[in-house]
Structure 1
Amino acid sequence: MITTEELYKHYLKNPVISTDTRNISEGCIFFALKGDNFNANEFAEQAIEKGASFVVIDEDNFAVSSKCLVVNDVLSTLQDLARHHRKQLNIPVIGLTGSNGKTTSKELINAVLAERYKTFATFGNLNNHIGVPLSILSITDDAEIAIIEMGANHQKEIELLCTIAQPTHGIITNVGMAHLDGFGGFEGVKKGKAELYSYLKKINGYTFINRNNDFLLEMSAAAGLTKLIYYGTENGNTIKGSLKSSDPFIEVDWTNHDDSTSVKTNLTGSYNFENILAAICIGDFFDMEAEEINRGLANYQPKNNRSQLTKTERNTVICDFYNANPSSMSAALTNISTLTADKKIAILGDMFELGPESETQHQLIAEQAFNSDLDEIIFIGKYFYAFKKSSKGTFFETPAEAANYLKANKITDALVLLKGSRGMKLESLLEYL
């Protein structure tokens, strides 16, 4: 069996990791991971033929050449290699998690810090037990600060990811009604996210906290954190901010110990105000000037269908369908209610991974939608469809049925909120709007 130190020597010669034979680059190391429906050990020979310098496998019978490195478990080996690489990096690593706004916050923090520093940030949403080690192994020697996003859908997952990313600084954006099934309810969500606080306490790291969030204050106190940097809307915070405008784009006034300034962003959704404040707070902590911070925020362009305002030929669409849970869905409905438009329409898809809470949470969102300032509401998915007989609105079981309706009933000159869980694939409806 090859040791982590020996494998690391191979990695240093060509520090590129692949877990997919469709993305093999010359000289990379291929890790043959297993899933519920696949066993990449079977593709070891193919990876070598495509140019991999080595393949890491955990089944002897697939060792077709000396380029096959046999280990006990490929996944744990990948994680151990990432831990070893992380220990060689003498830089601040900001660990970031939360129920909502993780990726947007990560992108905003990176946009700010990159105005002065050579940064690394998690690509896309590579934020799980595979994505985090891949992210760590992508950090190069010239990086000065890293921002690592950590996602979780059950307890002990953040704890594991912290052992890999080994953050020196951390932030929980918020805690909300997300992945309730895996976490075992809202209290389980709080406990799971607080694993980041526990890690930071253990290493005496720095924590950035939204002082307006009572749950985060409670969790940080329970963890016994001492190196706290606060942001929020009241005096006494390192960064104090106020929402100047959010119709349709967010403009923020903010103050630190030296400056009072404002910044206009390209983000929509008042719920992103706290994500912007977090990025300001972290930039300020790392000694950035207000002008640099504002430039990073002003230049950031949202993408990946998160709080993304898109102009189509007929409408203005709030593309927020990358994912959804009751907390983010409620915030999105509150936001569209505050925006100015002659006609406002919400197209809402089912929210997944809510377990026993699913019926209640879908009903609460439906009721909020009915009480919002909306001209039309379209619900899609089996969970929302269950309320068809007792509720007003237009209901469809599938996006395909909704697409047929939108073809026959064209929406024009409207502000449209398009939001649902990733599995609903609501992006398929954009062409009909």
Structure 2
Amino acid sequence: MPDTDPAAPRSARPLHGIKVVDLSKILAGPYASMTFADLGADVIKVEHPDGGDPTRQWGPPFQGPDATYYLATNRNKRSVALDLKSEEGQREAHRLIAEADVLVENFRPGSGLQRLFDRTALTERYPRLVVLHLSAYGDQGPLRDEPGYDMIAQAMSGLMSLTGEPDGPPVKAGLAAGDLGAALFGIIGVLSALVERDRTGLGQCVSTSLYESQLALHINWATGYFATGEVPSRLGSGHPNLVPYQAYPASDGHFVIAVGNNELWGRLCELIGRPELADDPRYALNRDRVAHRAELTAELERTLRTGTVAGWCALLAEGGVPVAPIQTLAEVYAHPQTRELGIVQEVEHPVAGPLRQVAFPVSYQGNRPAVRTAPPLLGEHTDEVLG
């Protein structure tokens, strides 16, 4: 019988015992497989002997022989160097796949490797295998054979049309939203397929794409467009459905205010010394404030420029209005909240020495999955895994 005692110890490695073969490269696939590794799966990263994953050279900066880009998405894995286009490499890869629960790949549709490791054929040959296929645009449609790049996905999916200042050019999101969105949906797909395999005994092909994942993240932008037929435009840091809810200038920088209801709006007006704004019928309700966004923003900016970021943040926070400074990464990683969470962990790299990593952001009964091993050197575990 399963242990139902809520005080019983829980593992921070819920995927312990799951074996994953990772044939992917760059970001979406390696991020997904790193998540499985963080959760305790045994992940074998298969790389070409000549150079390995291209992100090993995506620098500067470098730490040891590899770029920090590669180091960001490959911890807790083992690296095996195989030429998948050779007969020996294919034979060894199939030996690994035969013992695996999950295969991750992002081969370009129609490529030689995609034909050699066809996902449908693999699930027929290995019935319990769950295959995650990540692509640019999905399995159907006129663009299905195109290669996947985060920048292209952000442009084609509409994200760049929504990002940037109204009178400025389109802007890419600072994070790799296309790649990481596909990775996260792919992770969900694999985990749900493993749950179903527990019932049926059968694996399956799971596929998602950079394009599909971005459409799924449109959420209120898409439903607003469907309802009105109006094409949304860039709002800078503004929100399409809430005002005030954006970055504002102070005398020494910028900070953000997030007013989510009319009560907070009234409180904000009192705290900044502009109670008449709350009484103005143009700004009484959120729908009114959205309709008069430009005028209200100008009024708020005129007042907020008279104080400092620290001063406004302290005043509004004490008054219960959601507010925050815009932090740099240096400030984020020096912040006591970050330290208290224990999300930054250090692991010893065999060449680079101490290596800091942002750990998995979910805890299990208060236990965070550990950064157990450093991102592997190219082929570091070939003999160990194939021996």
Q: Relative contact order (alpha carbons < 8 A, sep ≥ 6): 1 or 2 greater?
A: 2
Please indicate the TM-score interval, normalised by the length of the shorter structure. Answer: under 0.3
Please identify which structure carries the higher strand content: 1
Larger Rg: 2
TM-score (norm 1): 0.25
TM-score (norm 2): 0.28
